[in-house]
Amino acid sequence: MIFGLDITALLPFIAVGFAAQMVDGALGMAFGVISNTLLLSLGVPPAAASAGVHTVESFTTAVSGISHAIHKNVNWKLFFRLMIPGVIGGVLGAYVLSNIHADVAKPFILAYLTAIGLYLLWRSTHPTPVERSPKIVEPLGLIGGFLDAAGGGGWGPVVTSNLLVQGSSPRTTIGTVNTAEFFLTTTISATFITQLGWEAFTVATVGLLIGGVIAAPFGALLAKRVPATRLMFLVGVVLTLTSLYGLYRAIG
């Protein structure tokens, strides 16, 4: 027992948190999607699940962001362009999910993300295009922040994938999106707490937090060392599989 919590009950959630954060730190997505899916499958209400995941991510993204900055994976100009609209969108999404059901658009969003994942898979098998600065950034931050809060995950899939499609460098895109996510998740968590109280803290969220914090530094190191085309391929695989699974659940 640690602080009244049974270690054997924590271990499965620690393992999920570790695996989810390794994927998220290396590829810029999937912690929210994987963790939120797990909590929902255990019967946690959508708003409480999203609140719990974002509470955990406030800590994991802090460690991940610092790690990415140390490894010079962050484009600071792009960071500020994403972070400010992302926070605004996150507050709006948290308020909507706390007060209104926002599931109507989910199948359409997941179908779109599946198409983006398949496109990234195709791109990863062709000659690498010349890197260029993305032009559509602020709207991505706003939409990604809103969907992340309202859907319990979506910042990475929406923002990372679309920046890669625009020609942004995979390594700095992943590092920048992860670092900006700290401010997004902290704001979303605070908004949920004002709406729901402290209901998010459960054995599951504590386990996810422990596993996620342990894994966070290693994900940044992988993002630095894995070649760009392989990163793009892996992003495409994770995005396609998670979106298809989410689409199956949403339609079913």
Question: Domain locations in the chain?
Answer: 7-251
- The pLDDT score that the predictor gives to residue 104 is 61
Q: What's the rounded Cα separation, in Å, for the pair 43 and 32? A: 16
Q: How confident is the model at residue 3 (pLDDT cuts 50, 70, 90)?
A: very low
Segments in the chain forming alpha helices (H): 7-27, 31-41, 46-70, 76-99, 106-124, 138-151, 155, 161-165, 170-196, 203-225, 228-251
Long-range (24+ apart) CB contacts under 8 A made by 2-6 are 5/203, 5/206, 6/203
| Percentage of residues in the chain having pLDDT higher than 90 | 9
pLDDT in tens, 83-118: 999 999 988 887 776 666 555 666 776 777 688 778
Whether the per-residue pLDDT at 130 is higher than 90: the answer is no
Whether the per-residue pLDDT at 58 is higher than 50: the answer is yes
Whether the per-residue pLDDT at 66 is higher than 80: the answer is yes
- The pLDDT score that the predictor gives to residue 4 is 55
